Amino acid sequence: MINRFLSAIRSPVKRAGAERYLLVTLLSFAISITLTRLFLELTGYPQLGRGTLHIAHVLWGGLLLFIAALIPIVFANRWVYTASALLSGIGVGLFIDEVGKFITQTNDYFYPAAAPIIYVFFLLTALVYFQVKREKRQNPRTELYHAIELLQDVLDHDMDVDERAEMEKHLRNVAGQVEHPDLARMASALLDFVTYKELYIAPPPPWFWRKFQHKLLEFEQKHLGRTRFRAALSAGVAVTGVVALLNLIRLIMLSTVTVSLEEILENLVYRGVVQSSESVALFFVRVGLEGIVGMLLVIGAVYLAVGREKKGYSLAYISLLIELTTINILIFYFEQFSAIILSVLQLAVLLGLIYYRQRYLIPKADYDLR
């Protein structure tokens, strides 16, 4: 028994399509948080229960997380991974939305630090997603794992042409190697089965996202082009830069009309922006960082507008990353969940920059409309 334990290979293997399942979790997490806060704000924060009984939505989140953990244990079909990813994202959103109650002695749902904690948790989940998405060298064992997992679709009559081609690729890679003859023999046997002409192949699924990408690319090529795309991107970067500069501009304008520091602080307290001496310091740190990044974004926008694309891209890309991963934590502290709109704008501009770089600044980039 000891020999069996020692000889077993227990190194983890990344699941085929793991990045897609994580993306489902990430999106459902963000949507769950946003819709929960929006619903509660619009309905006046209703309570489920009467008298001393209050069934908080953290319980529903925990229930969904428990179901998400159970279904992959009970069922073997591949669809359960998507269902589990969706339920876990919704569940963790409902669960962590009430974090303010569990980090304060007064069970304060509106505790200012709750929003940045949730945002940091979302960023960490996004970091896990990008780590998993990175391409890694595959060995015969990993490729055979992925092929066998795809084989489950044969049993459910759910294998389409693309999945069959992907399975064939994995099996041919394993069958062609000589380091592991046992795995090569197994792959060859499976390859004979997969290439059998009577094997049922499901019709292609309606890939709405691929069709949307196709239409978007056609629109860009027909109506935008590189010059207009760069102009739109420059405008987007400039807008995010100006928004980041607004608080600094307000403070400078107040200081030029002989308003004392005490009056400025009183105004911030009156508006509910700051609530303690610690938050005053954090507010000025936020304004300073926003001012620096805002100026860099405006400079980057100018560089993009005049055609110095690589320098403009680098400035804008780094500045937006700093905003999304650092400054927005402070913004969520002060603005709470209204900062979601700003974060979505920043992310949209960042994705536009990344796409522009892949489309125009990398010579080998080749986009096929098929």
What are the extents of the domains in the chain? Answer: 18-133, 142-194, 208-361
| Phi, psi for residue 183 in degrees, rounded to 5 | -70, -35
pLDDT band at 316 (very low <50, low <70, confident <90, very high): very high
pLDDT above 70 for 261: no
Give the mean model confidence (pLDDT) for residues 29-47: 88
pLDDT band at 367 (very low <50, low <70, confident <90, very high): very low
Give the mean model confidence (pLDDT) for residues 143-149: 89
Dump pLDDT digits (tens) for 152-189.
888 888 888 888 888 899 999 998 888 888 889 999 99
| Among 212-216, 260-264, 351-355, the least confident range | 260-264
pLDDT above 70 for 207: no
67 or 308: which leads in pLDDT? 67
Give the mean model confidence (pLDDT) for residues 117-131: 91
CA distance 102 to 95: 11
Dump pLDDT digits (tens) for 77-98.
889 999 999 999 999 999 999 9
CA distance 83 to 67: 10
350 or 12: which leads in pLDDT? 350
pLDDT band at 271 (very low <50, low <70, confident <90, very high): low
The DSSP annotation for 128-169 comes to: HHHHHHS--PPPHHHHHHHHHHHHHHHHTT---HHHHHHHHH
Give the mean model confidence (pLDDT) for residues 306-326: 90
Average pLDDT, the chain: 84
CA distance 118 to 94: 11
